[in-house]
Amino acid sequence: MMESRSPVCNTCGEEIGVKSNGEFFVACHECSFPICKACLEYEFKEGRRICLRCGNPYDENVFDDVETKTSKNQSTIATHINNTPQDSGIHARHISTVSTIDSELNDEYGNPIWKNRVESWKDKKEKKNKNKKKKDAKATKAEEHESQIPPQQHMKDIQPNTEAAATDVLSVVIPIPRTKITSYRIVIIMRLIILALFFNYRITHPVDSAYGLWLTSVICEIWFAVSWVLDQFPKWSPINRETYIDRLSARFEREGEQSQLAAVDFFVSTVDPLKEPPLITANTVLSILALDYPVDKISCYVSDDGAAMLSFESLVETADFARKWVPFCKKYSIEPRAPEFYFSLKIDYLRDKVQPSFVKERRAMKRDYEEFKIRMNALVAKAQKTPEEGWTMQDGTSWPGNNTRDHPGMIQVFLGYSGARDIEGNELPRLVYVSREKRPGYQHHKKAGAENALVRVSAVLTNAPFILNLDCDHYVNNSKAVREAMCFLMDPIVGQDVCYVQFPQRFDGIDKSDRYANRNIVFFDVNMRGLDGIQGPVYVGTGCVFRRQALYGYSPPSKPRMLPQSSSSSSCCCFPSKKKPTQDPSEIYKDAKREELDAAIFNLGDLDNYDEYERSMLISQTSFEKTFGLSAVFIESTLMENGGVPDSVNPSTLIKEAIHVISCGYEEKTEWGKEIGWIYGSITEDILTGFKMHCRGWRSIYCMPLRPAFKGSAPINLSDRLHQVLRWALGSVEIFLSRHCPLWYGCSGGRLKWLQRMAYVNTIVYPFTSLPLVAYCTLPAICLLTGKFIIPTLSNLASMLFLGLFISIILTSVLELRWSGVSIEDLWRNEQFWVIGGVSAHLFAVFQGFLKMLAGLDTNFTVTSKTAEDLEFGELYIVKWTTLLIPPTTLLIVNLVGVVAGFSDALNKGYEAWGPLFGKVFFAFWVVLHLYPFLKGLMGRQNRTPTIVVLWSILLASVFSLVWVRINPFVSRTDTTSLSQNCLLIDC
């Protein structure tokens, strides 16, 4: 069907050519980045010997091949291409064929949209042939002219072009200095060796007097070692990145020409305006509308999944205030562009503002914002009590969302299409309110379903090629954040296979000590940077810029699409077949076509290689409807790689079509939530969505600008923090128990790198560490109460092993701090909350996950409150009663009682008992020290500690006091046998 051809170099646009053995030239065997030998040779001369896309060093064989390169004319290369077997060309393509049933298409190729699409392909092909003829004619003239020019002038003409290409790079990879990363890796290997020797000693030296305690401790220690390996080795190759925004502007925003920057659709999701205050959502929306980006390239979609009239009315007020706020921000380059956070900055705002008018306008704007807050607070106060007859809009009609579980879809365009402009007459970005339809009896899939509804609505109305999603409490802190992401996504070298660019999460409203590790510094500054050096960071739910085509389930352009497994192989994902096919590759491809009759996920870049009739077969309307749903407008938009609304669509019907795609039955019998969009099956849909993209061969980018791109509000009190961690852990357990478990899902395709898979395995098994963690935290108290210990008397060798293990742990942490820049306090806080969350939220998540799988019991999570008191950090000491507080409270009391019992027993036995006591007490203090933030948060303010917590503490203390009395630590234990013998000698 398709003629085999050589891939094109991404630098110069020429074919990459073939090697002496007839195979296509491949410079990087990690990502198969297409670059020709001439461009690669220039890279070597400039001292750049790492891949421009993935950052991995080129293989030494590639160096030799370039250095011993012999010149070959174009006819020789063409001969090699023509002699290449047909099947190699087939496997170089990355498409998934679809149904080719003739009865599905009439003489006009079915729907008019398909007819228009095929006609556009005809025009495109004709233009392509004309351009090719012109290029051939120009090339002939150039060759004739070139023959008259001396070779010295040839070099002078070529050199400036190659230098310009080198300066057009929009981002670079900055590896960690070799001195830091090499020593870090050496210590990791040393720690692994010491662990092996340590476990050899522990297993071969059991404690017979406390065999049960010893066995429990060894099992726990083995699990901790496995968890450390899963967490440590994905950080093997951390990298940094640097972007060049000025080069982006120079390339895509030339003076006097229309901006060529790609459009971006922003998604802001909210559910309950009483727990997610409308003022916070309004600040997020205002920061988006005031971005440093072309206004015609920005569209902001606000999803109100609670269908609350308060959210709608607050958005009306926000759109009105944006007409004043947006021009003010752009005129004076305000940072951040969320008014609440800008006006709360305690800085000298006059320091860099020399315009006399700035002071006056700033005061006026602050006054306008205070009035805006008064109006917003009035709406919130009004919404506290719902009228019996339901809410009524200003025109007297009933609010359609009065029944939050049974209401139609609602869409309202506030800015952009309506022609509303700011106070200076300039155009404003689009602002769209969306509330999807909900009916009883339908599964709505919570946040993931709402995000998928926004994907379809935005595709119908604006269809930007990139999507940026934010939580309602995450405002834009850096107005150039989108430009930072575009340095990767619009880079023809780096961005070809990038599915999303993830920004780190930063938070406001947290005290400096960060008692409950709300900032997650270790995860965002250490783990994510490590993943960026492999296949890319995981998707963390907010602050992420997606490529729309990746969300649609398409494969990356540079890799062939994975063939689906047969029904027999897919029935057992744990043991994928490793048997290699023995039949001809072309026959395999034909069989794959027959197996994929109903598939509609393929690479659009190869459509140009088909004739008109074959294209119409590939995009048959029936096949696309089975994948994307019954919307011809939306299906047509999925074929537009560069975005934009299809020309064949009537603009007056767009809103009607947008209402149709958010109906509650639209996703039935489609691939939404299974293969395309946000993936269903877990409450942590973010991890699952990113995992599916990486399994298809996409890679992601981690962008850490100097000024944080986005900032959000974190739940700083203990109860809310534990509930947040519980939600994340339960989502991981759900993924572990689903068919998408990273232990086996996608193994046959081979597109997920093994270190990346290890990282995903770590994200789904970490809640199970709670079981050995609870047991290990209980062991010190049991040892102190029973007088036994889990370790026998240490020899010199054993002492060396224990000492070496502690030193390797410390060195690993120190070297990790060196290359990451994380402080010791952040690392310690992370370690403390790992224990606190592990013995509480993670433990509950494991049991709830299994209950959900076995008994079908689901857990409803409440939205974390984003409000705060007037007093700074006022919620830090608030403790709301939750069952999550019971396990850590119990462990604290048990270990404290055990310490008291241990000291009393040592006093009773004499000085010989003090030596073994120190090891047991150290073990107990390790537990208490890690739980100290929990204890401080629980008892920080007595008047705010829940009464039920005090009652539980007294009850638990009484129980363990009775146990202590039963042990009789102050009474000497007498041998009853000798006592009875003495009694016999007494003559009564």
Residue 272 among known ligand-binding residues: no
Tell me the three state secondary structure of residue 928.
helix
* Distance (Å, whole) CA 764 – CA 849: 12
List of E strands, 681-723: 699-702, 710-713
CATH class of 246-557+673-737: alpha beta
pLDDT of residue 939: 64
Residue 580 among known ligand-binding residues: no
Q: Is the peptide bond before 336 cis (omega within 30 degrees of 0)?
A: yes
Cβ density class 624-661: b for 16+ within 10 Å, e for less: bbbbbbbbbbbbbbbbbeebebbebbeeeebbebbbbb
Cβ density class 47-71: b for 16+ within 10 Å, e for less: eeeebbbbbbebeeebeebbeeeee
* Distance (Å, whole) CA 441 – CA 406: 10
pLDDT of residue 586: 38
Sheet containing 410-415: which strands, arranged edge to edge?
A: 410-415, 430-435, 298-304, 264-270, 466-471, 544-547, 498-502, 699-702
Which sequence spans correspond to the domains of the chain? Answer: 1-64, 246-557+673-737
Can 107 be counted among the known catalytic residues? no
pTM of the entire predicted model: 0.75
Catalytic residue among 265, 304, 305, 525: 305
Handedness of CA 98, 100, 101, 107 (dihedral sign): positive
Residue 275 among known ligand-binding residues: yes
HEC letters along 187-222: HHHHHHHHHHHHHHHHHHCCCHHHHHHHHHHHHHHH
HEC letters along 654-714: HHHHHHHHCCCCCCCCCCECCCECCCCCCCCHHHHHHHHHHHCCCEEEECCCCCCCEEEEC
The residues, any chain, with a CB within 8 Å of residue 679's CB and separated by 6 or more, are: 448, 673, 685, 688, 689, 692, 740
Strand partners, 832: none
* Distance (Å, whole) CA 606 – CA 98: 14
What phi and psi, each to the nearest 5 degrees, are found at residue 821?
A: 80, 5
Residue 136 among known ligand-binding residues: no
Tokens of 529: 């940077």
Q: How far is CA 243 from the centre of its chain?
A: 20
HEC letters along 370-417: HHHHHHHHHHHHHCCCCCCCCCECCCCCECCCCCCCCECCEEEEEECC
Residue 376 one-letter amino acid: M
Q: Is the peptide bond before 969 cis (omega within 30 degrees of 0)?
A: no
pLDDT of residue 458: 92
Q: How far is CA 978 from the centre of its chain?
A: 70
Tokens of 511: 């005290």
Tell me the three state secondary structure of residue 529.
helix
In Å, the largest CA–CA distance within the chain is: 136
Per DSSP bridges, beta strands 410-415 and 498-502 are unpaired
* Domain covering 1-64 in this structure, CATH number: 3.30.40.10
Residue 305 among known ligand-binding residues: yes
Residue 344 among known ligand-binding residues: no
Catalytic residue among 686, 720, 826, 905: 686
Tokens of 563: 């063939």
Can 305 be counted among the known catalytic residues? yes
Contact criterion met (CB below 8 Å) for 52 and 44: no
Helix (H) or strand (E) holding 600: none
What phi and psi, each to the nearest 5 degrees, are found at residue 945?
A: -75, 125
Residue entry with tokens 């670079």? 172
* Distance (Å, whole) CA 491 – CA 501: 13
List, run by run, the mean pLDDT of 10-residue segments along the chain (988 residues): 54 69 73 76 70 70 48 36 34 29 34 50 55 54 44 37 55 89 93 93 87 90 94 92 90 86 93 88 94 92 90 92 92 90 79 72 91 92 85 84 87 77 85 91 88 93 92 92 93 86 90 84 92 92 92 80 40 38 39 36 48 54 75 84 78 86 88 89 88 91 93 81 89 90 81 90 93 91 83 80 90 91 90 90 89 69 47 50 79 84 75 72 87 74 53 61 54 48 49
Residue 911 one-letter amino acid: Y
Residue 674 among known ligand-binding residues: no
